[in-house]
Structure 1
């Protein structure tokens, strides 16, 4: 799962050119380097962040350490640290919401949907009109089989950002589980109009066709997916499995 980034400028805002501003720029570069390392080499980032904390690196250093823990698969510890950072931070609401979004990702990786949902809900209290957070919470709600609530979050996200293909695909899936198949098909069609190669939309199109008894259309959708998907992608694997089940009449 890709770790959500935070805007660096929101954490470290340099003032006018001055020794203090130059120090902030140096710290900003250290933060940028540490966060990049956390994504690529989390063990090294963890060690670097620890050294930086010892040098009074403050919130950016602690944030880098927490993100490095996600890469080290210490999900619970990472989530708790990120939540604490968001609670104690005096930064802008958007920054604290971003930390909570990262905490929610860690909780999801830890398999704790309840804590993920709680973190996302708190983040949305800080930034209620953030479509990314709404989509993230919808994924959590869908994973917990709360499809009506997931669809509501996705509808709000689409009001804010009507061309979000991922939100359309997720809502189509939620609608399918709610037996709103006409609405689900409409969302898939809209998603594919925006991005004809959207893997999730092609996968869902096949599922909906299969439910409608049109095996030929289902097979065509999944083969279209396989033509554009990376062979090792989850969508490609699901499409291959679905086609195999069609072949044996499953």
Structure 2
């Protein structure tokens, strides 16, 4: 999926939910946010209400440039938080996530909206920063959001993703451990923690996380992909092959399937994935 497609997909879910952060998975083998979709919770807190706000948001996916123009005109007429929010999201949808994040951060800083709504906006800014590889700024936004919403599991997972991009795996593991304390059903957090533990060469702990993830969801392709990596690291080439073949077959058109195919090619070539 191209960066443009990802951004427009983001805009679509923004219209549905009014926010952009949600179950952000640290893709186990890819360890990159470039190919990650941006799912959202169905009923997030919103920083504004009203027909103009809904109209502006509804334009994002189909015509982000028109949404920017609409937001600018509305802001000139005193649109306030709603206009600024739509403008920030429209910039993200138009392929300018860094500029959109600037707008969203400024909005969260000056708004007098409830804490959860401002945390939602900061979460959107953090995801926009991740889209362009600005992990340090993403981590800072997620931290500010967690100050407003300390029990938000999604924000913890997002900050862990940013910290992983910064190679701060210990801090990422701490965030994911807290996220799992809040919600032990999060397979994505288990897989992400396994990746980070593998990066720190904590293979026994990584294997335990993956075993739990697969127990909870035997068909999770990212869990299977990561288990294959761990099995190969432990010398179990046949087990790795089985996991990667299964991961590839679950959704043949996905990034996970592509990575599984690459791993299988490396296995056939006799190279070990690190």
Shorter chain as normaliser: what TM range?
A: 0.7 to 0.9
- The structure in which a higher percent of residues are helix is 1
Q: Give the secondary structure class of the aligned counterpart of 2:177.
A: helix
1:184 corresponds to 2:184: no
Unpaired stretches in structure 1, ≥5 consecutive residues: 13-23
Residue 241 of structure 2 is aligned to residue 219 of structure 1: yes
1:136-155 per-residue CA deviation (whole Å, 9 max, x = no partner) reads 00000111111111000000
SS at match of 2:60: helix
User: Which residue of 1 is the match for residue 151 of structure 2?
Assistant: 129
What residue in structure 1 maps to residue 99 of structure 2? 77
Deviation per CA, 1:201-237: give whole Å up to 9, x if none: 1110110011010010001001111111242x21111
- CA distance change for structure 1 residues 39 and 179 in 2, over 3 Å: closer, same or farther? same
Contact 2:122 2:145 in 1 (8 A): yes
Q: Which entry has the higher C-alpha Rg, 1 or 2?
A: 1
Tell me the equivalent position of 1:174: 196
Which residue in 2 is equivalent to 1:53?
Answer: 75
Contact kept, 8 Å, 1:10 with 1:92, in 2: the verdict is: no
Q: CA deviation at 1:180?
A: 1.4
The verdict on how the C-alpha distance between 1:128 and 1:223 changes in structure 2, with shifts beyond 3 A counting, is: same
2:34 is matched with: none
148 and 9 in structure 1: CA distance in 2 versus 1, 3 angstrom threshold: closer
Distance 1:213 1:227 in 2: 23
Residue 82 of structure 1: CA displacement?
Answer: 0.5
**Which residue matches 2:24?**
none
1-side partners of 2:122 and 2:45: how far apart?
18
Distance 1:33 1:224, change over 3 A: farther
> When the two structures are superposed, what TM-score results if normalisation uses the length of structure 2?
0.81
CA distance in 2, matches of 1:215, 1:132: 35
> Is 1:236 the counterpart of 2:257 in the alignment?
yes
CA distance in structure 1 between the aligned counterparts of 2:148 and 2:54, rounded to whole angstroms: 24
Could you tell me how far 1:166 is from its partner in structure 2?
A: 0.7
After TM superposition, the structure 1 = structure 2 runs for residues 7-46 of structure 1, keeping only pairs within 5 Å, are 7=43, 10-12=46-48, 27=50, 29-46=51-68
TM-score (norm 1): 0.88
Q: Give me the whole-angstrom Cα distance separating, in 2, the residues matched to 1:8 and 1:63.
A: 14
Aligned to 2:169: 147
- How far residue 9 of structure 1 moved from its aligned partner, in angstroms, is 5.8
Computed over aligned residues only, the root mean square deviation of the Cα atoms, in angstroms, reads 1.8
Residue 40 of structure 1 and its aligned partner are, at CA, apart by 4.0
Contact preservation (8 Å) 1:82, 1:103: yes
**CA shift digits 1:73-105 (9 cap, x unpaired):** 222221111111000111111111111111111
Matched, 1:115 2:137: yes
